[in-house]
């Protein structure tokens, strides 16, 4: 029986990053993964493949709609979905192989198979051929992630009623795709197929898309995506979706309670994800899951069994790769006797539509609800010379700052390269900058980042320069 200082179950961004940090800190470390490749949801069927397809479809969309204005003439343009998927698969393989390399480099033992608790210090690993081995460990980190969620009546059959996993490997470009859920997955994967020519119709339960983000972003993104051909049905309660062979039929109740039906060739179910603990045999370690299926943890990501920790999608909080990574580092450093720190208020969120949507800190709705006295600064992207040069004029940047101290409390943007731009806000907020601090920093010209400065100027004293 092999024995370790720490055994990590699950090799997603939470698990593999935790493993690297544990090894760096001198712990004898093992990681268990049931899939054939390392990297979890993020690398195999999440962040990386979706961004690969978003990039390919964006190139096609630009070639189709924007090249002529740039003075580039193209004839015979057509999308080759199979090649896009082949390229995506290559990107995934290379990235997963990179994780294996990192495990070897850091001398982390990789055990292939399903990990399940025998007791709080013993994990059994059952491989694909049914062979079982046992590992003992002083500490265990559960990093088993999540799976697509669905509600009664919308069970995916993975053929025409699909989840994100199948949407990443379709054999044809749908003529029409229904998307249940106007959240991150629905809008990102909806964008991929809208750009390739599919008609996309979103059926969303809430009165807005991306309902957990600042309301301004949902409104602005709706405008942008409608131009790309998206149709939105908000305030709709899905009753059932049926595979009719060559089509799917979805029945929903609209805001007035009337029954409405939609027909398409595919239906993507994107109503969130649920924590995954199947096969872990948590009970043997003295653990159970809460009502939401999560493993409960305290502020130090420790479960009720002191030597067992849990991180990432399987615990409370945002289901994001970078949140899982930070939690992995946190637990590793805690186990090494350090005093790590993690600021959940400063975990940025990004939606990779074009333009991208990104946010950090409090939304205007949250500040209102908390009775905080705040001021708003904003700047339209179309006022930037850089944006006119690249023909990316949609969007805005909004900065919320304390009315009393001018401290930046939230930054919300829909802008070209917002996924990268948001890091200026995260850094500023980590150092508790005021809007004026950002406004007084020299930003390079011409860049999209000038919109951050201008929004900060607007928040400071309503003195944006270029609007
Ligand atoms: P996971 O990545 O889910 O990894 C868990 C691993 O544990 C899996 O490999 C699983 O096989 C393994 N496992 C489970 N049980 C066992 C067991 N008993 N024994 C052995 N192994 C086990 N997040 C972002 O931040 N940015 C994005 O752009 C983004 N895009 C996404 C796009 C899509 C389509 C999807 C679905 C998700 C996306 N996410 C994105 C979310 C992101 O993928 C997750 O938040 C992240 O992967 C969570 O990491 P994790 O380590 O907690 O779990
Ligand atoms: P989500 O929570 O982002 O969106 C789900 C949407 O479905 C919400 O708008 C919700 O109101 C709606 N909804 C819920 N029940 C519904 C119903 N019965 N009928 C109609 N609409 C309904 O979830 P997601 O898009 O499935 O993504 C899952 C997770 O993966 C998210 O937590 C997200 O953080 C993560 N993810 C992140 C990224 C990224 O960071 N760019 C990309 C993809 C996924």
467 residues of the chain, pLDDT tens digit each: 799 999 999 999 999 999 999 999 999 999 999 999 999 999 999 999 999 999 999 999 999 999 999 999 999 999 999 999 999 999 999 999 999 999 999 999 999 999 999 999 999 999 999 999 999 999 999 999 999 999 999 999 999 999 999 999 999 999 999 999 999 999 999 999 999 999 999 999 999 999 999 999 999 999 999 999 999 999 999 999 999 999 999 999 999 999 999 999 999 999 999 999 999 999 999 999 999 999 999 999 999 999 999 999 999 999 999 999 999 999 999 999 999 999 999 999 999 999 999 999 999 999 999 999 999 999 999 999 999 999 999 999 999 999 999 999 999 999 999 999 999 999 999 999 999 999 999 999 999 999 999 999 999 989 999 98
How many residues are there in the chain?
467
Helices vs strands, H then E, count in the chain:
14, 22
Residue 107 CB: number of other CB atoms within 10 A? Answer: 9
Residue 458, classed as helix, strand or coil, is helix
- 49 and 114 assigned to the same domain: yes
Q: Which residues of 196-210 are buried (b: 16+ CB within 10 A; e: fewer)?
A: bbbbbbbbbbeebbb
Write out the residue range of the structural domain in which residue 169 sits.
161-271
DSSP 77-94: ----HHHHHHHHHHHHHH
Decide if 155 is inside a domain: no
Q: Which atom number of ligand 2 is nearest to the Cα of residue 270? A: 26
Contacts of 142 (CB under 8 A, 6+ apart): 9, 10, 277, 280, 295, 303, 308, 309, 310, 311, 314
What is the count of structural domains for the chain? 3
User: Which residue, 297, 323, 342, sits at the end of a domain?
Assistant: 342
What's the pLDDT at 417? 97
Q: Which ligand is nearest to the CA of 39?
A: 1
- 106 and 168 assigned to the same domain: no
- 135 and 284 assigned to the same domain: yes
Ligand 2 pocket member 352 (CB < 6 A): yes
Residue nearest to atom 34 of ligand 1 (CA): 46
State in Å: Cα 165 to ligand 2 middle: 14
Given the residues 59, 70, 300, 445, the one annotated as active site: 445
Residue 412 known to be catalytic: no
Ligand 2 pocket member 20 (CB < 6 A): no
What's the pLDDT at 461? 87
Contact 332, 182 (CB under 8 A): no
- 278 and 129 assigned to the same domain: yes
Q: Which residues line ligand 1 (CB under 6 A)?
A: 9-15, 32-35, 40-42, 46-47, 50, 114-115, 143-146, 164, 185, 276, 279-280, 312-313, 319-322, 324
- 83 and 114 assigned to the same domain: yes
- 234 and 377 assigned to the same domain: no
- 352 and 338 assigned to the same domain: no
State in Å: Cα 227 to ligand 2 middle: 22
Decide if 464 is inside a domain: no
What's the pLDDT at 99? 98
- 34 and 143 assigned to the same domain: yes
What's the pLDDT at 1? 75
CATH number of the domain to which 455 belongs: 3.30.390.30
Residue nearest to atom 14 of ligand 2 (CA): 271
State in Å: Cα 317 to ligand 1 middle: 14
State in Å: Cα 150 to ligand 2 middle: 11
Give burial (CB, 10 Å; 0-12/13-18/19+) of 25. Answer: middle
Decide if 194 is inside a domain: yes
Decide if 153 is inside a domain: no
- Helix ranges (DSSP H) in 237-282: none
- 167 and 290 assigned to the same domain: no
Residue 162, classed as helix, strand or coil, is strand
User: Residue 213: which of 379, 355, 413, 53 has the closest Cα?
Assistant: 413
Decide if 156 is inside a domain: no
State in Å: Cα 14 to ligand 1 middle: 8
User: Which residue, 252, 271, 290, sits at the end of a domain?
Assistant: 271
What's the pLDDT at 300? 98
- 69 and 202 assigned to the same domain: no
What the block records as the tokens of 455 is: 């929004």
- 181 and 219 assigned to the same domain: yes
Decide if 466 is inside a domain: no
Residue whose CB lies within 8 A of the most ligand 2 atoms, among 185, 187, 209, for a mutation test: 185
Ligand 2 pocket member 270 (CB < 6 A): yes
Torsion of CA 460, 383, 227, 180, to 10 degrees: -20
State in Å: Cα 183 to ligand 2 middle: 4
What the block records as the tokens of 13 is: 């961004």
Decide if 465 is inside a domain: no
What's the pLDDT at 4? 98
Which residues on neighbouring strands pair with residue 396, listed in sequence order? 380, 414
CATH number of the domain to which 229 belongs: 3.50.50.60
- 279 and 201 assigned to the same domain: no
Q: Which ligand is nearest to the CA of 418?
A: 2
Decide if 364 is inside a domain: yes
Contacts of 16 (CB under 8 A, 6+ apart): 8, 31, 38, 39, 40, 99, 102, 103, 328
Predicted TM-score (pTM) of the model is 0.98
Ligand 2 pocket member 324 (CB < 6 A): no
Give burial (CB, 10 Å; 0-12/13-18/19+) of 412. Answer: buried
Ligand 2 pocket member 181 (CB < 6 A): yes
User: Which residue, 234, 256, 271, sits at the end of a domain?
Assistant: 271
């Amino acid at each position: 029986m092999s024995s370790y200082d720490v055994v990590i179950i699950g090799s997603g961004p939470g698990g593999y990053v935790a493993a690297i940090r544990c090894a760096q800190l001198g712990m004898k470390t093992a990681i268990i993964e049931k899939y054939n490749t390392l990297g979890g949801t993020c690398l195999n069927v999440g962040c990386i493949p979706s961004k690969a397809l978003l990039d390919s479809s964006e190139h096609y969309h630009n070639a189709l709609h924007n090249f002529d204005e740039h003075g580039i003439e193209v004839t015979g343009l057509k999308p080759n979905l199979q090649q896009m998927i082949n390229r995506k698969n290559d990107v995934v393989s290379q990235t997963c192989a990179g994780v294996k390399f990192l495990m070897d480099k850091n001398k982390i033992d990789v055990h292939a198979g399903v990990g399940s608790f025998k007791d709080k210090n013993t994990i059994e690993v059952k491989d694909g051929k049914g062979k079982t081995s046992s590992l003992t460990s002083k500490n265990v980190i559960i990093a088993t992630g999540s799976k697509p969620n669905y509600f009664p009546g919308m069970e995916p059959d993975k053929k025409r009623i699909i989840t994100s996993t199948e949407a990443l490997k379709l054999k044809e470009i749908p003529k029409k795709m229904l998307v249940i859920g106007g959240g991150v997955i629905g809008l990102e994967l909806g964008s991929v197929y809208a750009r390739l020519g599919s008609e996309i119709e979103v059926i969303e339960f809430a009165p807005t898309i991306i309902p957990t983000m600042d309301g301004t972003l949902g409104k602005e993104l709706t405008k942008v995506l409608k131009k790309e051909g998206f149709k939105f049905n908000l305030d709709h309660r899905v009753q059932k979706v049926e595979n009719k062979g060559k089509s799917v039929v979805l029945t929903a109740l609209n805001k007035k309670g009337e029954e409405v039906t939609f027909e398409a060739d595919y239906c993507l179910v994107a109503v969130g994800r649920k924590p995954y603990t199947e096969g872990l045999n948590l009970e043997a370690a003295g653990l159970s899951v809460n009502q939401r299926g999560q493993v409960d943890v305290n502020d130090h990501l420790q479960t009720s069994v002191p030597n067992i920790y849990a991180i990432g999608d399987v615990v409370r909080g945002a289901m994001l790769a970078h949140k899982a990574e930070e939690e992995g580092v946190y637990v590793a450093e805690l186990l090494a006797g350090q005093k790590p720190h993690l600021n959940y208020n400063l975990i940025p969120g990004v939606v990779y539509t074009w333009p991208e949507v990104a946010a950090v800190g409090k939304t205007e709705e949250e500040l209102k609800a908390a009775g905080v006295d705040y001021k708003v600064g904003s700047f339209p992207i179309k006022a930037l010379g850089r944006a006119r040069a690249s023909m990316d004029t949609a969007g805005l940047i909004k900065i919320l700052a304390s009315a009393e101290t001018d401290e930046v409390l939230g930054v919300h943007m829909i802008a070209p390269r917002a996924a990268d731009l948001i890091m200026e806000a995260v850094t500023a907020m980590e150092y508790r900058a005021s809007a004026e601090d950002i406004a007084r920093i020299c930003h390079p010209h011409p860049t999209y980042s000038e919109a951050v400065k201008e929004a900060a100027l607007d928040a400071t004293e309503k003195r944006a320069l270029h609007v």
